[in-house]
Amino acid sequence: MRTQVAIVGAGPAGLVLAHLLARTGIESVVIESRDRDYVERRIRAGVLEQGTVDLLHELGLDERLRREGMVHRGIELRFDGERHRIPLSDLTGGRAITVYGQQEVVKDLIKARLEAGGQILFEAEAASVEQPVSDRPVVRFRQSGELYDLECDFVAGCDGSHGVCLGAIPANSLTVYQKDYPVAWLGILAEVAPSTEELIYAYHERGFALHSMRTPHLSRLYLQCRPDERLEDWSDRRIWDELQRRFALEGWSLAEGPIIDRSITPMRSVIHEPMQYGRLLLAGDAAHIVPATGAKGLNLAVSDVRVLADALAEWYRTGDDSLLDAYSQTCLRRVWRVEHFSWWMTSLVHRFDEDGPFEHQLHLAHLRYLCGSTAASTSLAENYVGLETA
Ligand SMILES: Cc1cc2nc3c(=O)[nH]c(=O)nc-3n(C[C@H](O)[C@H](O)[C@H](O)COP(=O)(O)OP(=O)(O)OC[C@H]3O[C@@H](n4cnc5c(N)ncnc54)[C@H](O)[C@@H]3O)c2cc1C
């Protein structure tokens, strides 16, 4: 088998890349280890930055997003028994976020790609990337028990944080930056109308909680827990009681409903530098992880492949490889900005084990300043909706 760009992974990075390449007439094959149903049901992120929404619009992939996505022009910070609104759009010249589940984005991207005759091989697991430093790299993959070789000009490693592409780069060619936070998120999806119109980030002495949503009938809620906690120790009652405590506010109540999905996700930051090795180019979670607090993982994956698609288009059009050579450097400017923002948000709203009364007062002072100062809240807002240039 042969194609121009072999894309490993049908997550947001791989699928958006396939669409961007198709727009400029570049052929690709997407190899995905899971089946279609699994990737279309995987509950993960759900906050789209303005730039991500604009790109999906540009690609003509936003028909359902425009209908079903919920545009939010502000977020709430809740602490010390009070609520404060950060008016995102007022502070950023009208920019906003859109709440639309990652699995819905993935569904839309897969459907449109297949309808356009694009190739996505499901249940095809990449086993290795061969000869990445040559002009004929190969992705070796397994499907229905058989091994196949996919020859290509370039390999896009969009296979997430547990993929194989990163492993094709020798360890001595990589610098790895990593920070593990002593906290995790217990996330639930509940069949109940959200109790809020905008996202609520709650800082509480017992730990952080986030009220998000996926549709007008589905609430997505998170609460800070320890990374070593076990899901089976959290009964539905215990989860709701803890959420009730952390969101408690006079005159406001949190509606409860059946929990239909739950998971524990540790918070960590990881960056692999550089994001390329010969003709293997990494994008999205394959190259970097951000703690979920800033809602950036999916958006960062999309911004990587936008840079990659431009670089590949230039190479195929003119043979000029300067954009490709600069791929990693170009992406890493934004990656580090977003890593900083996500670390900052994580530090702002979580309670860490070593935090005592002094740190608690510092958290409150910082939060009050954020809500009271236009300069400080603008900084939060412009990063949260997504910087136009990083
Ligand atoms: C468990 C989890 C929960 C998350 N929750 C949130 C959240 O609540 N809020 C938030 O903002 N962000 C969240 N994120 C982050 C966000 O979802 C990711 O940043 C985003 O999915 C990145 O997209 P991607 O395309 O780079 O990687 P992925 O979406 O991980 O896609 C990678 C794809 O590659 C496939 N793959 C892996 N290995 C192979 C192989 N060998 N061969 C072929 N295919 C392979 C995988 O099956 C997958 O489909 C979460 C991430 C994870 C992992």
Give me the sign of the Cα torsion angle 374, 375, 380, 381.
positive
Q: Average pLDDT of 338-351?
A: 97
Q: Work out which ligand 1 atom sits closest to the CA atom of 295.
A: 11
Check pLDDT > 90 for residue 368.
yes
Q: How far apart are CA 3 and CA 123, in angstroms?
A: 19
DSSP letter assigned to residue 275: S
Residues 57/63, Cβ–Cβ less than 8 Å: no
User: What mean pLDDT, rounded, does the chain reach?
Assistant: 97
Q: Is the CB of 297 under 6 A from ligand 1?
A: yes
Dist. CA 161 → ligand 1 center (Å): 7
Whole-number pLDDT of residue 222: 98
Cβ of 304 less than 6 Å from ligand 1:
no
b/e burial code for range 131-153 (CB count within 10 A of at least 16 → b): ebeeeebbbebeeeeeebebebb
Establish whether residue 31 lines the binding site of ligand 1, counting it when its CB lies within 6 angstroms of any ligand atom.
yes
In ligand 1, which atom is closest to the CA atom of 263? 1
User: How open is the CA angle 62-68-70, to the nearest 5 degrees?
Assistant: 100
Give the per-residue pLDDT at 389: 80
Tell me the CA–centroid distance for residue 165 and ligand 1, in Å. Answer: 14
275: nearest Cα among 252, 243, 308: 308
CB under 8 Å to 78, separation ≥6 — which residues? 84, 200, 201, 202, 203, 247, 249
Ligand 1 atom nearest 296 alpha carbon: 11
Quote the pLDDT of residue 47.
97
Taking alpha carbons only, the member of 180, 178, 179, 181 closest to residue 351 is: 181
CB of 102 within 6 A of ligand 1: the answer is yes
pLDDT grade, residue 369 (50/70/90)?
very high
H/E run at residue 40:
helix 36-41
So what's the pLDDT on residue 390? 72
Which residues touch 44 (CB under 8 Å, ≥6 apart)?
102, 103, 297, 298
Give the model's pLDDT for residue 269: 98
Residue 382: which region, alpha, beta or left (left: phi > 0; alpha: psi -120 to 50)? alpha
The answer, yes or no, to whether any atom of ligand 1 lies below 6 A from the CB of 125, is yes
| Distance between CA atoms of residues 289 and 300, nearest Å | 9
Q: State the pTM of this model.
A: 0.96
> Ligand 1 atom closest to Cα of 300?
19
Q: Does ligand 1 have an atom closer than 6 angstroms to the CB of 101?
A: no
Q: Peptide bond before 274: cis, by omega within 30 degrees of 0?
A: yes
- Say whether 246 sits in a helix, a strand or coil: helix
Please work out whether the CB of residue 155 comes within 6 Å of at least one atom of ligand 1: no
pLDDT band of residue 336 (cuts 50, 70, 90) is: very high
Distance from C-alpha of 8 to C-alpha of 156, rounded to nearest angstrom:
6
Residues 369, 371, 373, 375, CA torsion sign: positive
Q: How far is the CA of 33 from the centre of ligand 1 (A)?
A: 12
Q: Are 70 and 28 in contact (CB under 8 A)?
A: no
Q: Is the four-CA dihedral 256, 259, 263, 269 of positive or negative sign?
A: negative
Given a cut of 90, whether residue 388 has pLDDT beyond it is: no
What digits encode the pLDDT tens for the residues 167-220? 999 999 999 999 999 999 999 999 999 999 999 999 999 999 999 999 999 999
Distance 110 CA to ligand 1 centre (A): 15
pLDDT, tens digit (0-9, with 9 covering 90-100), for 121-168? 999 999 999 999 999 999 999 999 999 999 999 999 999 999 999 999
Ligand 1 atom nearest to CA at 164: 41
Residue 30 three-state SS: strand
Ligand 1 atom, smallest distance to 185 CA: 8
Measure 42 CA to ligand 1 centroid, in angstroms. 9
Residue 40 Cβ inside 6 Å of ligand 1? The answer reads: no
3-state secondary structure 187-236: EEEECCCCCCCCCEEECCCCCCEEEEEEECCEEEEEEEECCCCCHHHCCH
Q: Give percent helix, percent strand, percent coil of the chain, each to the nearest 5.
A: 40, 30, 30
335 lines ligand 1 (CB under 6 A): no
Kindly state the average pLDDT of the residues 90-107: 97
Indicate whether residue 34 lines ligand 1 (CB < 6 A): yes
**Ligand 1 center to residue 286 CA distance, Å?**
9
